[in-house]
């Protein structure tokens, strides 16, 4: 086998040979063509976790954070309730594999009235335009709004830090928009006025969030 400190510029076949070897062995190939020594470095990647392994890692992280949760090992799902600044939210952590992925789903504690289902879709579209990661979704059968964040888990990085990033990002996004969505579901004149104040900075958001005056309708 050729030595790893050979000159890449003088022997391009060597580079291709090592790249092919890396593709068969799940290794990284780092090339430094400007250097005559050490131009090829092989470092074996860690194998991606399966769903059960990721579930156990997330479960252990929640326990270390002293958060109360309900675990469903068969579905690789964990459920917990978080008391946010603006209200209570139900959080689901769903573990996936191939590739390893942590799904964070936050359900808002209000239902969208039947007469506002169409307007809810427009409002969520406007909210999603302002998000860099994740998206709000409307579950029509249950008339609830959820926030969904898919976070790829990299085996070469600290798991706890990745879980914290995904969890914190989802919670922060739900907390930031919960007031707007709760006011949208409430049809009082006072709620209408407060909602217009919150959305006055965004013309499209304000247009999609206007509601006809009426009685309080939360169900």
H/E element holding 144? strand 144-152
With tokens 């998000």, the residue in question is: 131
Each residue's pLDDT tens digit, 29-63: 444 444 444 444 444 445 678 999 999 999 999 99
Domains of the chain: which residue ranges? 12-44, 51-209
Each residue's pLDDT tens digit, 196-209: 665 565 544 444 44
Determine if the pTM surpasses 0.75: no
Is 81 strand, coil or helix? strand
The distance of Cα 105 from the centroid of its chain, to the nearest Å, equals 8
pLDDT reading at 2 higher than 70? no
> Looking at domain 51-209, which CATH architecture does it have?
2-Layer Sandwich (3.30)
Q: In degrees rounded to 5, what are phi and psi of residue 156?
A: -85, -5
With pLDDT > 90 as the criterion, what percentage of the chain qualifies? 42
């Amino acid at each position: 086998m050729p030595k790893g400190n050979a000159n890449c510029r003088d022997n391009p076949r060597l580079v291709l040979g090592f790249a092919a070897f890396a593709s068969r062995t799940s290794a990284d190939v780092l090339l430094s063509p400007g250097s005559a020594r050490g131009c090829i470095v092989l470092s074996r990647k860690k194998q991606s976790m399966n769903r059960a392994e990721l579930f156990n890692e997330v479960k252990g992280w929640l326990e270390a954070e002293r958060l109360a949760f309900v675990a469903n090992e068969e579905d690789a799902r964990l459920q917990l309730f978080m008391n946010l600044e603006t209200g209570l939210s139900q959080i689901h952590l769903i573990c996936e594999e191939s590739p390893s992925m942590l799904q964070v789903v936050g359900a808002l504690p209000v239902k969208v009235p039947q007469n506002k289902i169409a307007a809810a879709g427009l409002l969520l579209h406007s909210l999603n335009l302002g998000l860099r990661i994740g998206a709000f979704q409307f579950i029509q059968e249950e008339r609830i709004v959820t926030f969904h964040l898919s976070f790829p888990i990299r085996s070469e990085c600290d798991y706890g830090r990745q879980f914290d990033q995904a969890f914190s990002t989802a919670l922060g996004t739900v907390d930031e928009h919960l007031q707007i969505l709760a006011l949208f579901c409430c049809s009082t004149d006072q709620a209408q006025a407060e909602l217009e104040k919150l959305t006055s900075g965004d013309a499209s958001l304000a247009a999609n969030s206007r509601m006809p005056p009426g009685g309080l309708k939360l169900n």
